[in-house]
Amino acid sequence: MFKKIQFFISLTIVILIILMMFVPSLFTNINPYATEGLRSYVDDAGTFHLEKAPFKPQSDIWMGTDELGRSIWALIIYGTKLTISLAGLIVIFRFLIAVPIGMLAGFGSLSAHSIIDKMNRFLGTIPTLLLSILILRMDFFTNLSKTQSVISFVIVLSIIGFAKLAVVIEERVKAINSEPFVTGDIALGKKPLQIALTTILRHLYPELIAMFFMEIARALTLLLQLGLFAVFVGNVKFIEDSSNGNIKTMNVSYEPEWASMLGAARIHLRSAPWIVFFPSLAFFISVLGFNAFGESVRKLLKGEMSILRIKPILISLSVLLIVFISGYQLVDWVGVHTGYASKILSTERLMLEPGPILLGNSNALKAADWISSELDTRGFTPLKGNSYIDSYTIDSGYYATNDEVELNQVSFKGNYEWVGYGNYDLTSELVDLKDLDVLNLGAEALSMYSDKIILLNGNFYSHEAIVKMTERILSRSNVDGIIWMKPLDEVEIKWVSKQTFAVPVLYVSNEFELKSGDQLHVKLDMGTLGSSGNNIYGILKGTNTNLGEEALIYGFGYNAMDEKRFSEQMSFNLSLIDALIKDDANRKRTIIVLFFDGGSNYQFDGRVSYAEQSLYPQKDILLYFDLTHIEAGERGTIFFNQDQSPISRYYAYSFAVQLEAAFNGISDSVIRNQKNWKNDDLLYLSKGIPTLTVGFTQNEKGETLSNLGSILSRVIRKNNY
């Protein structure tokens, strides 16, 4: 009877531990990373009280807090995953070393026996705990990141601890080899490897499974001991006091992990004993549970105990599978997961007219309604009033409804931009004046180039300067047109302009070798923008009690030159939104999405209209993530700017650091600290909202847009966790 009670109690403990690893939100909704250094209140007598962390157990924090003001209960619950997974990985790697070496030694290998014997003699001289401390306290190990620290702990503690396990396996293999059935296998001519795999393992596996769970308990005990000596995963030193030139540091693990809680709390043993007591209790219960469960499994598999006639093999394999899944979860926890999946969206029901989707034109109005309905189906609600659409007034603007440029009867569409607009249809000869100071030529000199298209150098001038120079040249000459040579990725104004000219004026990429005598054919039909732009604002409230008011804002653009590009661009935008809202880690905080009609390249920027309003409390906004510069295309160059995410705004800074680290793997396709975009610092300067900007422009040899979406989704999830 006692054996069955022991089994069910230990099984309950193991199941609870695994539930804490997989779904910690079932046990608490408190953020384990949230710190609260000071608390103040006024008592019934009217006395003001100011308290400093750690705070003793109270009704809202029934296990109290640590010295940083973090909830002990939340740290234990969320620390279960890292602590148990770390112990599980250590044991798995110990078995991977000990089982082959132990079996070889059991079959008489002198080399394998010598390795086991020498390791045990060495560890008999220097205790395992002392050796572990000596190695893991080295500066190299204490300065590693969390992932690197986990790897180093697994390697060091696996190598140090495998020998004792190998001795047991060696002895058991020798005992099994002496059995008559093994002698019979040898007589039948079976090879040692065949005997090991078919006979030895079959008789050894019940004890291996039992030892596996007992080794987890042993590994947890070692982690507890290391924690008491301030040796734990992700060891970080905070400067506690630097007065008189003497720097006093405090060891703290940023990550929730039981051993780190013990290591950082040693100095609070008398003043705040709850910081030490509760993590110690978590270790005690876990060690007791795994030891008892391992012993129960051993008895089940040996036939010493029967429970509900369930086949012992099914019980053991199920539990073993859970342990391996738990180890796999560690990999998921450090950020390998990605929820982004690119989806091609159909926009046929929009019934768009041929031409661009731009700033209040009829196509843009249809697109705004369609985006609103897409947000509605995803559970969003309007951020402002009862409508997703927020209109703002714009000045007169122009764009190309149809354009065509041919050089010597060869089209080079897509390799030019319009400085200003008009209605043209002409063919003219090109004259190269890049080396002349055209601005200082008189009207008489310029008359030589009448009825010609002149070619000028625009590499060193802004768009505003080029507009002024163009107006001056046209006022003093009768040229047929002007081409300004300039890298297109440096052109500030694209697609839309407030300027009109009587003759064609274009930017052409420096890649083209234009020369005097070339024939240029230019055709342009000009369209006029509507009187207003239409931004779309949606909000999805956070689900977490404590974090729900905190908001992340994602800004997108939806203007495009044709329906195909619009569909590709919206496929990326909505696929990323789908990845965000389907992940529980992201849903804890409020998600705000903004779709802007107009951008920094259009002289009409929808972000300006948003910045002039206060639609959500600024103090609750953690980050504005600007993705308005994402262009449609299968491959391209990624642009990245984190200048508006200072270290003083830790969430945004952490996000920027993780995103930069993710981009390091594709560094050839990433340009950092891009500064050519106008108004990207608008929300940061006007509202104090930290801003992170990512752009994507087409480039056949660059990174895929789908991979960019996966990177963004992964980093957002990791930072939100």
Q: For residue 331, what are the CA distances in angstroms to 475, 661, 662?
A: 67, 17, 16
Position 673 scores a pLDDT of 67
More confident residue, 97 or 350: 97
Tokens of 422: 């008009």
Residue 4 CA to residue 27 CA, distance in Å, equals 27
pLDDT at residue 640 above 50?
yes
pLDDT tens sequence across 191-230: 777 777 777 777 787 788 888 888 999 999 999 988 888 8
Position 276 scores a pLDDT of 86
Sequential DSSP letters for 671-687: EES----TTTTHHHHHH
Backbone torsions φ then ψ of 498, nearest 5 degrees: -90, -10
Q: For residue 309, what are the CA distances in angstroms to 298, 300, 314, 319?
A: 16, 11, 11, 17
pLDDT at residue 329 above 60?
no
Closest CA to 655 of 719, 580, 585, 590: 719
- Tell me the pLDDT band of 299, cut-offs 50, 70 and 90: confident
Position 509 scores a pLDDT of 83
pLDDT tens sequence across 17-47: 988 888 887 888 777 877 777 766 666 676 7
More confident residue, 169 or 242: 169
pLDDT tens sequence across 576-614: 898 888 877 678 889 999 999 877 655 678 888 898 888
More confident residue, 649 or 132: 132
| Whether the Cβ atoms of residue 503 and residue 424 lie closer than 8 Å to each other | yes
Least-confidence region, from 71-85, 86-100, 574-588, 616-630: 574-588
Beta-carbon count within 10 A of 368 CB: 22
Kindly report the pTM of this predicted structure. 0.61
Residue 139 CA to residue 148 CA, distance in Å, equals 13
pLDDT tens sequence across 356-412: 888 878 888 899 999 999 999 999 999 998 999 999 888 778 888 888 888 888 877
pLDDT tens sequence across 604-636: 788 888 988 889 988 889 899 999 888 877 788
Domains of the chain: 2-226+274-335 (1.10.3720), 348-394+533-720 (3.40.630.10), 398-528 (3.50.30.30)
Position 503 scores a pLDDT of 92
Tell me what the pLDDT averaged over the chain comes to: 81
pLDDT at residue 331 above 60?
no
Sequential DSSP letters for 605-657: -HHHHHHTS--S-GGGEEEEEEEEEE---SEEEEEEE-TT--TTSHHHHHHHH
Position 325 scores a pLDDT of 47
- Name residue 390's beta-bridge partners: 535
Beta-carbon count within 10 A of 653 CB: 17
Backbone torsions φ then ψ of 184, nearest 5 degrees: -65, -40
Of 137-151, 424-438, 644-658, highest mean pLDDT: 424-438
Residue 26 CA to residue 444 CA, distance in Å, equals 84
Q: What H or E segment, with its residue span, contains residue 177?
A: helix 146-177
pLDDT tens sequence across 249-284: 555 666 788 888 887 666 777 788 888 889 999 999
Burial-class residue 383 by CB neighbours within 10 Å (0-12, 13-18, 19+): buried
pLDDT at residue 107 above 50?
yes
- Tell me the pLDDT band of 308, cut-offs 50, 70 and 90: very low
Q: What H or E segment, with its residue span, contains residue 294?
A: helix 274-302
- Tell me the pLDDT band of 328, cut-offs 50, 70 and 90: very low
Share of the chain above pLDDT 90, in %: 15
Share of the chain above pLDDT 70, in %: 84
The answer for residues whose C-beta is within 8 angstroms of residue 347's C-beta and 6 or more apart is 370, 563, 566, 567, 570
Position 676 scores a pLDDT of 57
More confident residue, 199 or 658: 658
Backbone torsions φ then ψ of 34, nearest 5 degrees: -70, 125
pLDDT at residue 327 above 90?
no
| Whether the Cβ atoms of residue 103 and residue 224 lie closer than 8 Å to each other | no
| Torsion angle (degrees, nearest 10) of CA 129, 132, 138, 142 | -100
pLDDT tens sequence across 462-494: 888 888 988 988 888 888 999 988 887 777 666
Q: Is the dihedral of CA 94, 96, 99, 103 positive or negative?
A: negative
- Cα angle 288, 289, 294 (rounded to 5 degrees) comes to 100
Amino acid at 376: D
Beta-carbon count within 10 A of 352 CB: 21
pLDDT tens sequence across 689-699: 899 999 888 77
pLDDT at residue 330 above 50?
no
pLDDT tens sequence across 512-526: 788 888 888 999 988
- Tell me the pLDDT band of 435, cut-offs 50, 70 and 90: confident
Position 684 scores a pLDDT of 84
Position 332 scores a pLDDT of 46
Position 241 scores a pLDDT of 61
pLDDT at residue 323 above 60?
no
- Tell me the pLDDT band of 335, cut-offs 50, 70 and 90: very low
Sequential DSSP letters for 66-131: -TTS-BHHHHHHHHHHHHHHHHHHHHHHHHHHHHHHHHHHHTT-HHHHHHHHHHHHHHHHS-HHHH
Question: Helix axis angle, 563-581 relative to 362-377, nearest 10°?
Answer: 20
More confident residue, 276 or 240: 276
Burial-class residue 76 by CB neighbours within 10 Å (0-12, 13-18, 19+): buried
